[in-house]
Amino acid sequence: MVNEYLIDDIEKALSNLSPSDFVRHIDSAIEILRKERERGFLVGGKINGGLVELQTPDELVVIGDIHGDLKTFLKILEDIKLEHYLANPNNKIILLGDYVDRGPKSIEVLYAICNLKQRYPNSIILMRGNHEAPAEYPFSSHDLPLKIIDYYGMDMGKFIYYKKIFPFFRLLMLTTIIQKLLLLVHGGLPTIEVTTTNYRSHIANAQENILQNRIMEEILWNDPRSEILGGHDWEKSRRGVGKHFGINISRKWLEATGTRAIIRGHEPCEGYKLDHAGIVITIFSCKDPYPNFDAAYISIAGKKLESIRTGADLVDYTIKV
């Protein structure tokens, strides 16, 4: 297969992943992400802080939560014939975050996504999940530090975790918009008043403004719900962080951004699920930590993407692994 070389290369590197190799790939990814933000663009799109806005790609793949499930992640890359797919810089792979924790191969998944960003910087969009914000929003299931210390020892492990991985996490994207078509986040939509004139600044500056507002928290932690108590637009989340948001919030964001459907991850499901009358589709892409659920990803050509009217139209392009 045309993509066997790259997949084999990743797997061989992971079999003996030295601290220096791991750090080198993280540093390379950090430099690429920094330069993207400084330039404000990549092939087929522009970058403003934590916001990526893309033109319609020739082909699009969307991958949800990975959670250290390297086996399923590599299977997805094999399925899409990775090297052939990424030979065209106008093809995009958007990863929705939650690369680490829960599964057995968090370190290896981090290496793999940094490797891909290094090789194909214009085609790989790395978004931030709530598990990539442990310093801002601590939670009990964050096992990445222990795995790194166990793998590399206390001193080297702490250096890698705090001095390398934290800066990498902070450069990941919060929201991706495919103009006139899709709005992609990890968790959900902020419950703020949003308009066509303010949504860019809200998203772009969310990370810098975490002490002034909860926009980043809500992007990373919120979940859609069909029924909100008392008929309100939102309620406090039973996760203890973030909120549950109702269909009116989804409609407001689609109207403000001029998009048709919302894609997000964050919740285990049978590979995918629909919320808010099909406006919202959840994609979940790991099996190992969640054996009672399925894994799936979206793969769709740009011409087909332009014909969708809602998230429900993406079900035909959702592939279970």
Instruction: Tell me the three state secondary structure of residue 30.
Output: helix
Residues whose CB falls within 8 Å of the CB of residue 65, separated by 6 or more in sequence, listed in order? 96, 97, 98, 129, 265, 266, 268, 284, 285, 286
Distance CA(171)–CA(181), nearest Å, equals 25
Give the number of other CB atoms < 10 A from CB of residue 134.
Answer: 19
Which position has the token pair 């919202």? 280
Structure-block tokens of residue 58: 């020739």
Instruction: Tell me the three state secondary structure of residue 193.
Output: coil
Q: Would you name the residues annotated as active-site residues?
A: 131
Q: CB of 131 within 8 A of CB of 206? A: no
Phi (first) and psi of residue 155, to 5 degrees:
-65, -50
| Alpha carbon 214 to chain centroid, angstroms | 19
Structure-block tokens of residue 107: 């370190």
Distance CA(54)–CA(221), nearest Å, equals 24
